[in-house]
């Protein structure tokens, strides 16, 4: 999760830019995943500035992020600087783990999923939403060409061209969720696509009892 510092210098603008790039749908995509998770204690992995806090309801939220600058803008009651590959929590500490737009930034998805499984109680659930490429090869090619132009242009408007060039490249990092999450300690319950051309993916997993 070493890329947590990529957006450090634009922390105050990050959520607004995400909303613009998602045509205002980023919160709806988070909500679809959170609605499938149990109540209780939830770890927001890669919580950033706390965009998901408003949709967690009465859950006991622990916000974890590698960027202190991002966490400084997060209004969660409990905040921890840390990375997904080495979670600073006891076994079975959480009823749920949620992560939005983080997995393409991880150093190791496998290590992170092992840690997520460890900190979940038996029967606990994890929900992930992230960006990628559309499933169709032809549509993915069009999407790739578009983001190569649009994302750096958006970055230029806030003086963050390098950061948004990185975002463009990160969309090609991981395979589809059915492949990415096929061999983790958690059972893959459901995956689905959202957003224009299906470039947003979501997954829900459960820890065996």
Taking the C-alpha atoms of residue 135 and residue 21, their distance in angstroms, rounded to an integer, is 20
Render pLDDT for 11-68 as a digit per residue (tens, 0 to 9).
555 665 666 566 667 889 999 999 999 999 999 999 999 999 999 999 999 999 998 9
Top pLDDT among 115 and 168 is at 115
CB distance 44 to 135 below 8 Å: no
- pLDDT (average), residues 69-73: 90
**Structural domains of the chain sorted by starting position, each given as residue range(s) with its CATH number in brackets:** 2-134+173-206 (3.40.50.150)
- 145 pLDDT tier (thresholds 50, 70, 90): low
List Cα–Cα distances, 208 to 38, 127, 186, 189, in angstroms: 15, 15, 7, 11
Residue 107 has pLDDT above 70, yes or no: yes
Nearest to 200, CA basis, from 23, 55, 6: 23
Crossing angle (nearest 10°) for helices 137-157 and 11-21? 140
Which residues face 198 on adjacent strands? none
In angstroms, the CA 55 to CA 62 distance is 14
Token couple for 41: 């204690």
């Amino acid at each position: 999760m070493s890329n947590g510092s990529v957006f450090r210098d634009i922390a105050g603008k990050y959520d607004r830019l995400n909303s613009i790039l998602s045509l205002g749908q980023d919160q709806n995509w988070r909500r679809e995943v959170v609605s499938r998770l149990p109540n209780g204690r939830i770890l927001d992995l890669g919580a950033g500035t706390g965009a998901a806090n408003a949709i967690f309801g009465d859950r006991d939220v622990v916000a974890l992020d590698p960027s202190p600058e991002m966490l400084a803008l997060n209004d969660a009651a409990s905040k921890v600087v840390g990375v997904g590959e080495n979670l600073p929590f006891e076994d079975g500490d959480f009823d749920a783990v949620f992560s939005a737009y983080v997995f393409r930034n991880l150093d190791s998805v496998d290590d992170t999923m092992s840690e997520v499984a460890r900190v979940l109680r038996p029967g606990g659930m994890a929900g992930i939403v992230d960006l990628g490429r559309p499933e169709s090869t032809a549509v993915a090619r069009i999407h790739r060409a578009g983001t190569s132009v649009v994302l750096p242009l958006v970055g230029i408007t806030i003086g963050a061209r390098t950061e948004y060039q990185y975002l463009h490249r990160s969309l090609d990092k991981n395979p589809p969720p059915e492949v990415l999450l096929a061999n983790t300690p958690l059972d893959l319950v459901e995956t689905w696509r959202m957003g224009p051309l299906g470039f947003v993916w979501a997954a829900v997993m459960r820890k065996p009892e």
